[in-house]
Structure 1
Amino acid sequence: MNDVQSSSVPLQPARFSTGAVPERDRFDAWREYLRPVADLTPIAHRQRKASIDLATWDLGSFAMCQESSSGTRFSRTLRRVKTIFADHWYLFLIKEGANWVVSDGGCSAEQVSRGTSGQVGFYSLGEAFHGEMQPMEILMLFIPRDQFARQAGTLDRLNNTIIDTARGRLLSDYMLALERRLPELTKEDVPAIVRATEAMITACLAPAPHSAEEAREGIILSLGERARRVVQSQLSNPKLTPASLAKSMGVSRSVLYRLFEPHGGAARYVRNTRLASAHRALCDFAETRQIQQIADSFGFTCAQEFSRAFRQRYGYSPSELRADCSQSVRRLCGQTTEGGRTLDEFLRTTA
C-alpha cells in the first residue's frame, strides 16, 4: 500500500469491552485497564457485573475516549501520580450522568468540582484527586502537557474546575462535533484536526493575556516550561546539573532556583524526572533492555545508586516493579481490545 492509500484509510479506535468477560471479573478488568488514570472502587455490588465499553481514538497529539460505564468511585493518589507517570490534562465532557471530584494536592488542594449532563470539566493527571461518578456516558480528550507548554501555567490554574462559561459550552460543542465526525476521518485528516483542536482549546481555555501583569506572569511560566523541556531532552546526560541547566537556558542560578523551588530545587527535579522516566520504561511490556541499561539511558551510571534512589522514591525496587507490571500485562491478555494505540499506550508515549 502506498503512502496516499495508507493516509486515506479510515481511523479505527482501540476498543475495550468487558462484554465477553465473565460477570464476576468485569469490574476488575475495567479497573486494570484504567490503572494509568485512577484506581477504581465499585459503589454497589451490581456494578461489578455491568458491562463497560470504551473506545480510544488516536489523534496523534491528542486522544479522544468514549466511555459508557456503570459508575464508580475513583482516586489518583500522590503515590499513583509518582509511580504511573502521565503528566497530561484532560477535558471531561458529561453526556449523561454526574460526577464530583476533590483535589488532594497541588495548587487546587481541597477544591471540589461537581459536573452534570452537558458540562465539561478540566483535570490534570499530574495532581492527586478522588471522587465519584454515577452511571455515565462521557467523552474525554487527553492532552499532553508539552502540547501547550506556553499556556501551561494558565491551564494548571484550571485544574479540577467545571468550565461553565460561554467558552466552555463552545468547547463542549466542538468536542461533540468532533465525536460525530470521528468515523469519517482518515489519517490524512489528523494534522488538520490537531491544529483545529489546539486553536479551540487555546481560545476557550487560555486566551491571550489582557494586562502587563498577566503577560509578565505568562513569561515566567513559559520559562519554567522551557526549563522542563531542556531537562527532558538531557535525561541521558549524567553530567546534567543545575549549573549546566542554567547555562543551557542562559539564566542565572538564582532564577533557576526560583523556577524549581516548588519542586524542591533543580537537582531534585532532575533526579525525580529521571526516576519517573525509568519507572515508565520498566512498566513498558515492549521494553526488553536490562534494568541497568534502562538506568544508564536516564543518567544513572551506578546500579546501586539507581536502586537505592528508586526504592526511596517509590517504596519498592526496580525488579519488583518489572515483575508486577509483567503480571498486569498477562491479566489483560484475555480482554477484548482492537484498533490502534490504546489509552495506556497513548499516555506512555506522549508524556
Structure 2
Amino acid sequence: MANGGGLPRLHLVSSQLPVQERFECWQQSLGGTSNVSVPEGARPEESTYDVSIWQFGTVLLSDSVFGPRSQTRTLRNARADKLDHYRVILQTEGELRLEADGRRFKVEAGELVLTDMSREERYETTRGANVVMFIPRQMLDEVLPRSFDLHGAQPGGATARMMAAHLRALARGAAQLQPQETAALARATVNLLAASLVPSAQTLDHARPTIEGNLLRQACRYVDLHLGEPELSAEALCAFFKLSRSTIYRRFEPLGGAAH
C-alpha cells in the first residue's frame, strides 16, 4: 500500500516476481472472485500485470496494464464472495471479448461495457489496459429512472465519451486526491454513468455538474494546444465543440471569460 501524501493506493506489479510465478500470483490476487487462465496460443510467462487500485468512498477504481488472459466468473464465485456490484470497464488499450448470458460483445479501445457481478460472465483479452470501476448495485440503481438489465450494457454517444474521458482523468489524478474528496467524486461519476446509460432529463440534470466540468477541461486543453494561433477565438471553440457562443462564454465565466 502506498500513498505519497495523497489517496492510498494498492499496487500489484508482476515485474517484482520471478517469471515462473507471475501467473499463479495473478490467480491468487483475484481472491476467488474469478477463475483466470491463459488463452490459447499464449504462455503463462506472458501474464504480466501492473495494477493500481484506489477506494473512492464505497466505489473501487482500478487502472491496469496486463498480458493476455481468459477470465470467468461463475455463479459459484458470485455466491462465495457475495459482491453485489456493477463493474464498469473502459478498455484503454487492446481488445476485450465478453460473453454475458450467452450474448457476445467485442469491446475495443475507448469503449465502455458494464457487467452485473451477481451473474455469470466470461471474457478474454489481448495484451492491453483498462480502467475499471466497481459500483455497489444500490448506488447506481437509485439514480436510474427505473430498473434496467445492465449485464453487458454498452453506453454510447456523447455522454458515454464524456464518461470515458472522466474515468481516464480519475485514474490519472487519483494520486493527487485527498480521501475526503472521493465520496463526492464517486457520486458525480455514478450520475454521469447513469446519464450515459439512460439520457433522460432526470439523469442528465444529476450529471450536469460533471458534464460541464469535463467540457471546461476539454476546452481549456484545446486553448492550450492552439494558444499561439491567430485563428483561436470563441467562434473556433464553438465550431470545434458544436456549442453556441452563449454556452462557451458561460462555461469560461469562472476563469475570467472566454476572451481572457
TM-score (norm 2): 0.69
How far apart are residue 10 of structure 1 and its match? Answer: 1.0
Partner AA of 2:23 in structure 1: F
Given the superposition, is the C-alpha separation of residues 202 and 17 from structure 1 closer, same or farther in structure 2, using an over 3 Å criterion? same
- The 5 A counterparts of 1:126-275 are 126-151=118-143, 156-208=148-200
Alpha-carbon spacing, 1:188–1:83, altered in 2? closer, same or farther (3 Å): closer
Return the alpha-carbon distance in structure 2 between the equivalents of residues 111 and 153 of structure 1. Answer: 25
Q: Do the aligned partners of residues 26 and 154 (structure 1) sit closer, same or farther apart at CA in structure 2, a change above 3 Å counting?
A: farther
The correspondence for 1:15, drawn from 8, 11, 31, is 11
CA distance in 1, matches of 2:154, 2:10: 28
The answer to whether the Cα contact below 8 Å between 1:154 and 1:206 also exists between their aligned partners in 2 is no
Contact 2:58/2:135 (8 A) holds in 1: yes
For the structure 1 residues 148 and 29, does the alpha-carbon distance in structure 2 shift closer, same or farther, using more than 3 Å as the test?
Answer: same
Out of 110, 119, 124, the residue aligned to residue 102 of structure 2 is 110
SS at match of 1:161: coil
Larger RCO, structure (CA 8 Å, separation 6 or more): 1
Structure-2 residue corresponding to 1:79 = 76
Whether 1:40 aligns to 2:36 is: yes
Relative to structure 1, the CA distance from residue 92 to residue 122 in structure 2 (aligned partners, 3 Å threshold; closer, same or farther) is same
Task: Measure, in 1, the Cα distance between the counterparts of 2:145 and 2:184.
Answer: 26
- 1:100 counterpart = 2:97: yes
- TM-score by length of structure 1 reads 0.52
Report the CA distance between 1:158 and its aligned residue. 2.4
The residue type paired with residue 68 of structure 1 is: V
Q: Following TM superposition, by how much is the alpha carbon of 1:45 offset from its aligned partner in structure 2, in angstroms?
A: 4.7
Higher helix share: 1
Compute the RMSD of aligned alpha carbons: 2.3
Between the aligned partners of 2:129 and 2:147, the Cα distance in structure 1 is: 25
Deviation at 1:155, TM superposition (A): 6.5
Cα gap change, 1:85/1:153 in structure 2, threshold over 3 Å: closer, same or farther? Answer: farther
Unmatched runs of 5 consecutive residues or more in structure 1 = 1-8, 104-108, 211-351
Kindly state the Cα deviation for residue 116 of structure 1 after the two structures are TM-superposed.
0.5
For residue 16 of structure 2, give the secondary structure of its aligned residue in structure 1: coil
The answer to whether the 8 Å contact 1:24/1:49 transfers is no
| Greater share of strand | 2
Q: Which runs of 5+ in 2 are unaligned?
A: 203-260
State the AA in 2 paired with 1:10: G
Q: How many residue pairs are counted as aligned between the two chains?
A: 198
- Answer whether contact 1:94 1:137 (CA < 8 A) is retained: yes
Matching residue of 2:56: 59
- TM-fit CA distance, 1:36: 4.2
